[in-house]
Amino acid sequence: MLAAMTLPTVVLLGIMELTVRMRHSKHLEVFSVFLRTVTDSYLFFATDDDNAVVNGLHSDNHNELVREAAYRIYLYPHEQQQSKLLSLLQDRSELAHLCGFPTYAHRAIKGTMAETPEAVMEFLESLAEQVRLPAGKDLDVLRKYKSKRTGITGQLWPWDLPYYSAIAKHARHKVDHAEFSKYFPLGACMEGLDSLFRSLYGVSLLTEAVEEGEVWSADVYKLAVKDEEDKVLGYIYCDFFERSNKPQQDCHFTIRGGRELSDGSYQLPIVVLMLNLPAPSWSLPSLLTPGMVENLFHEMGHAMHSMLGRTKYQHVTGTRCSTDFAEVPSVLMEYFASDHRVISSFARHYKTGEALPQEMLASLCTSRSMFGACETQLQVFYSILDQRLHGNLPLETGLTDILTETQNTYYSIPHVPHSCGKPLRIRPVAVESHRSSGERYRRNLLAHGGGKPPMCLVEGLLNRRPTTDDFVRSLVADFDVSH
C-alpha cells in the first residue's frame, strides 16, 4: 500500500491497465475518453512537490478512473508490510503454542460465543451459501446503475460498489443526508436516547456540572445515569465534537470499571464516549447525518452495557467480555436507530419543530437494509480470510494467493491483481436479542458483563441454546432484495 506516487507513474499505470482491458472490449470509444481523463484525474489527488498523494480510496468520486487509480495505488501490495504481517502471524502462532493451543484462532476464539474455530467455519460456510443468491441480486442492480451511467455492461469492480450503492440508495429512497440532518439535532437525539432508556431500563440521562480541571476540553460534558429512585449508576463523559488533533475515531472506553467494594457498596463505572460530530455554532446546532445517529446509538449501547453491569470484579464488568459478545448491546441499539417508532419519537426539525415526514422516515428505515446481502458477503470473505491466516502455519501458499483464492471463492467480486484488498472494516455480526422486557434483558444479560460465559447468558435470555442456523437466519432475514 503506497502513500504517494509520482504523476508519470500514475499515468503509466492507468494507461497500461486500461490498454489491457480495452484490447478485448468492443467499447473502444470509451478508451479514448479514459485517456483524456487520465491527466485530469491527477487534479483529484493532493500533491506534495512532484508527487500525487493518494491517501484514501476516493470511493465517492464521480470519476471512474479516479476511483480505480486510488484503489490500485492505495492498495498496491507492499513487500515490507507483507513481511510484517507474516512476522505478526508467526508471533501469534508461537504465543498460541506457548499457551497450549494448536493455532492462534483457537486461542482467540476460546471464551467467545463461537467457542471453537470449527464452529466459526460452520457458521461462515453456512452463511456464505445462504447469502450467495441475494448478494447476486444486489450486484445485478448495481450493474444496471453502472451501465446506465457509463454505457459499459458486465463486470463490477471493487471500486464500483460504494459509489453505485450510494447512487442506487438515493435513487430509490431519495436519501439526502443534508436534508435528513435538519431533523436530527444532537439535543433531540439525546432526548430520544433518554426516552428509550427510560422505557427499556427505567434509567435516565442527566447533565451534571463539571469541576475545574475535570475534563480535557471545554466542549466535553458529563452525564449521570440514574435509576427511578434517583440513584446514580455511573457517569458518561461525552466528547462528541470534532476538533483539531482529536483522533478520528468513534469509540467507547472505560476510565473506571464498576465492582463490589469491601464495605458492600459498589464502585460506580466511569466511561467516555468519543465521536466526531459537527460542532454547534452561534446560528446552528450540531446536526447529525443518519450515519452519525446510528454511530451515536451504537456507542451509547456500549456505554449502557458498562453503566448497567453489576459484577464482583471490575476486569469483567460491562464491555470487558468476549469481543463478539461485547457488540451485542451496541448492535441492538443500531436496530433501534433504524426503527420507525423510535425515530419518529424524537426526530424534529431544528427550526420549526416539525416531525420527520412519513415519506422521509420510510425511506430512511428501508434504505439501511438495502444491499445488506453483498455487504454481509464481503464480511464473510474477510472473516474466512482471517480464519485461514490464523490457522496452521506455515501458510500453504503466499499471502496474495490465499487472498485471491478466498475472495474468488466466497465473494462475488473477483480479486484485482496487484492489490492487497480493501482494509478490513469489520461490521459486528450479532443476533438481535428477543426479550420480553428491557428489564429482563438488563438483568439476564447486561448486568453480568464478562462474569459468565456469553453463550450461557444468551441461553438464559432466550430460554434455549441458539444454533448456527438461528444465527444465519437472523442475518438473512434482514436482507432487502425487493430492489
Catalytic residues: 299
Q: How far apart are CA 389 and CA 32, in angstroms?
A: 42
Cell of 113: 460465543
Cell of 259: 465492582
Q: What is the dihedral of CA 19, 23, 26, 32, to 10 degrees?
A: 30
| 197 close to 186: Cβ distance less than 8 angstroms | no
String of b and e for 219-240 (b: at least 16 CB within 10 Å)? ebebbbbbeeeeeebbbbbbbb
DSSP code string of 263-310: TS-EEPPEEEEEEEEPPP-SS---B--HHHHHHHHHHHHHHHHHHH--
Q: Report the candidate in 335, 345, 318, 356 with the shortest Cα–Cα distance to residue 448.
A: 318
Alpha carbon of residue 227 to chain centroid: 31
Helix (H) or strand (E) holding 46: strand 46-48
Q: How far apart are CA 4 and CA 10, in angstroms?
A: 10
Q: How far apart are CA 104 and CA 92, in angstroms?
A: 6
